[in-house]
């Protein structure tokens, strides 16, 4: 069994490296037949369940993975900008969201994240009043899906460093009487946002905010410093071979937070979801490091994965749930 696993991992890595070489030689990653075909091959190679731990592989593979994630991020941004432009040409863009080829994935992910959030948000029937999404981009599907179908009385504050992306995103909801009032767009580097972060009940951190471990850890530490005690942080991560597509969030680096649960989808929804709660106790910060009670941190360490069925109206999603 071990030799078979090694063989499967070798085939996977060879395939991913071949695709990376082709992608890296393209003049542009704007949507086109060649770009779409290569990324489709990459996703199909990485989506099947795999026990691969990329961190255990060579420095060369680590470097290729890091570069590949950046290429994926660039291509995803260009794809979203392309379709945001098309959608913005309609009188009511929200009526045409299904022209985006992965819209159904966002519907599934939105329902998944809502159910996770609903499970951990509160012991009462209250729902979050103010939610922030960091790294919303030109096509803020998560905020739109959650605001339209799940959190219908919640205000969503969308943060992106790119003013053009925010202008494109704002145009998508401007014709909708409801969402135009509940969707707010801020052009800012989240590292420059401080006291305002205390105003949010829940903060979502997009998968591509922080392309590597160091960058993402800095953002997480910043959020830990300024978020309100008891507020929830929803992070997107990756598991297995999907870590070739998106950065992995190590729950052990979530200093200042109590990790509540980790969900690894086992279907065409690529991102894992990590939900954590900001500690209520004061957290002392010295030289950009957070000092915590080790006992409280160890209490939130992960259990081994337990595969369970997850049911929702969009169909059955099998996933790995590491409840804390």
- pLDDT tens-digit profile of 284-322? 544 443 433 323 332 333 322 332 333 333 333 334 445
| For the chain, percent of residues with pLDDT exceeding 90 | 73
Integer Cα distance of 179 and 183 in angstroms: 6
Residue with structure tokens 């053009």?
A: 164
- pLDDT tens-digit profile of 246-273? 999 989 889 999 999 999 988 888 999 9
**What was the pLDDT predicted at 324?**
52
Please state, in angstroms and as integers, the Cα–Cα distance from residue 124 to each residue in 17, 114, 118, following that order.
49, 16, 10
Integer Cα distance of 53 and 280 in angstroms: 34
Q: Name the β-bridge partners of 205.
A: 134, 235
Which residues, in sequence order, are CB contacts of 163 under 8 Å at separation 6+? Answer: 187
Domains in the chain: ranges and CATH = 1-281 (3.40.50.150)
């Amino acid at each position: 069994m071990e030799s078979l696993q090694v063989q499967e991992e070798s085939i996977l890595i060879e395939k991913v490296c071949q695709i990376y070489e082709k992608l890296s030689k393209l003049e542009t990653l704007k949507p086109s037949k060649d770009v779409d075909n290569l990324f489709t091959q990459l996703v199909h190679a990485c989506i099947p369940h795999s026990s691969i731990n990329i961190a255990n592989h060579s420095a060369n593979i680590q470097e290729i993975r890091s570069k590949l994630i950046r290429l994926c991020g660039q291509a995803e941004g260009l794809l979203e900008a392309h379709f945001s432009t098309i959608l913005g040409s309609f009188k009511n863009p929200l009526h045409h969201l299904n022209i985006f080829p992965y819209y159904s994935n966002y519907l599934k992910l939105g329902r998944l994240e809502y159910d996770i959030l609903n499970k951990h948000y509160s012991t009462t029937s209250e729902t979050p009043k103010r939610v922030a999404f960091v790294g919303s981009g030109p096509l803020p599907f998560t905020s739109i899906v959650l605001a339209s179908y799940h959190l219908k009385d919640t205000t969503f504050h969308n943060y992106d460093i790119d003013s053009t992306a925010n202008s494109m995103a704002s145009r998508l909801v401007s014709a909708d009487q409801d969402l135009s009032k509940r969707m707010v767009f801020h052009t800012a580097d989240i590292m420059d946002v401080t006291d305002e972060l205390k105003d949010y009940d829940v903060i979502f951190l997009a998968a591509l905010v922080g392309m590597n471990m160091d960058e993402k850890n800095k953002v997480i530490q910043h959020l830990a410093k300024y978020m309100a005690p008891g507020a929830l942080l929803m992070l997107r991560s990756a598991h297995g071979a999907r870590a070739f597509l998106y950065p992995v969030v190590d729950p052990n680096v979530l200093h200042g937070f109590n990790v509540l649960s980790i969900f690894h989808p086992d279907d065409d929804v690529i991102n894992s979801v990590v939900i954590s709660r900001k500690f209520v106790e004061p957290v002392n910060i010295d030289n950009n490091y957070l000092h915590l009670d080790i006992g409280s941190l160890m209490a939130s360490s992960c259990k081994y994965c337990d595969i369970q069925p997850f049911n929702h109206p969009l169909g059955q999603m099998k996933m790995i749930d590491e409840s804390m």
